[in-house]
Every structure is written in C-alpha cells, then in structure tokens.
Amino acid sequence: MATKATKAKVSVLPSGMRYLALGDSYTIGEGVEAAGRWPVQLATALREGGVPLRDPRIIATTGWTTDELWSAIDLAEPLGHWDLVTLLIGVNNQYRGRSVVDYKREFTELLDRAIGFARDRKDRVMVLSIPDWGVTPFAVHEAGNRGNIAAEIDAFNAAARAVCEQRGVAFVDITPTSRDRGGEADQVAEDELHPSAAMYTRWTELALPVAQRLLNA
C-alpha cells in the first residue's frame, strides 16, 4: 500500500544581526512591558531603518551591581559572538554607597568583556550613561540629600566615559534627558522610580543614530 512521503522538520535559525544587551533594571525595563524596554525599542527602530537586527538577548536584572552582572554572565550559556553589544550598569553601585574607584575597575572589566563578545570590535559596542534617579517622585519622597545623588552619579558617569574614551567605545549620555523630565508622571513607571516606556523612547532616540553608525560601519 502506498504511503505519503513525510518531510523531515529542519530547524532554521533566525536571520539577522545579533544583539546582546547587558545591564540592570534599566535594561530589563522594570515595570514596563517587554516591547517598552529601550533595547527592544532600539532593535525595532533599527529594523525600521533597514538594519536587520534581531531583538536583543538581555542579561539584566533589577538591583544588579557591576560584580553581580559579571557573575550572571559567567552563569549564562556560552554567549558566543554578537554584532552589537550594549552596556548600562552602575546605578546600584551608587545606590549601595560603593566607591567610584571600585566601579571604574569593575566597569572596565565588563567593558573589555563586552568588546570580546563583539569579536573584539570596539566599534560594535555602545555604553549608555547612568540616569539620575534622584529626580524621580520616589527620590523626592524617600531619599535624603538628592544633590548628593546627582553628584555621585556624575562621578560614576565621568569614570565610565573616561574608560570608554580610552577604549574607543561609543558613550551615549542619557543622563541630561533623565533629569529633564524624569520627575514627570508619564516618564516613570508605577513604582515612581523606574522609567516608563515613554522615557525609554527618549533614550532610544539618543542611542539610535549612534547604533546606526556602528552597524553601518
């Protein structure tokens, strides 16, 4: 008796450039839907502009410091190589009262690791600055000296920028944007601390031309 031929199923990997996003609550998008996270918004905007970039593989969790991100990367599956790597880390170092000296050393180690994930292409790595959570409604009601928060975040960002300049890595300063409207109700999530999708859109607008330049190089 004749039987129908069956076709073997073939697993096909998705096409497109690969994107790895490393960070903390600001990268995982605490309090927003997945589509509202800035790395996802960035990937979407790049595709709309003709860059075939997949949605990001995100390694980030709320509360992580530089050393905790390092440990999480160690525990992840073999990550291999990526066409774009972004890094935004440090706010929890500041929040926990850790030193800028330790942050700079650990940030440097993470940045070098990010460059390795990008096949040692420094021109495929992008760092975003730490936003200023001191302007949020949460900080207004709960934090002590908000001026100290701003000064400390400036010091951490200066350290990260200096390392990026030494390594030749793109540094996107989103801190002024976070201060500009970061206290407005529609710019924060329900916890009144983390950014809303609308604020992440503003970050994406700043990061987009830089990412386009890197990926089109």
Domains with residue ranges and CATH for the chain: 19-216 (3.40.50.1110)
Residue type, 208: L
The predicted pLDDT at position 146 comes to: 67
List the beta bridge partners of residue 81: none
Residue type, 19: Y
- CA nearest neighbour of 127 among 65, 39, 187, 199: 39
Alpha-carbon span 202 to 116, nearest angstrom:
29
- How does DSSP classify residue 195? B
The predicted pLDDT at position 63 comes to: 98
Alpha-carbon span 115 to 84, nearest angstrom:
9
Alpha-carbon span 22 to 216, nearest angstrom:
22
The predicted pLDDT at position 147 comes to: 72
The predicted pLDDT at position 11 comes to: 34
Alpha-carbon span 191 to 213, nearest angstrom:
35
The predicted pLDDT at position 144 comes to: 60
The predicted pLDDT at position 167 comes to: 98
Q: Which residues of the chain have pLDDT under 50?
A: 1-14
The predicted pLDDT at position 3 comes to: 37
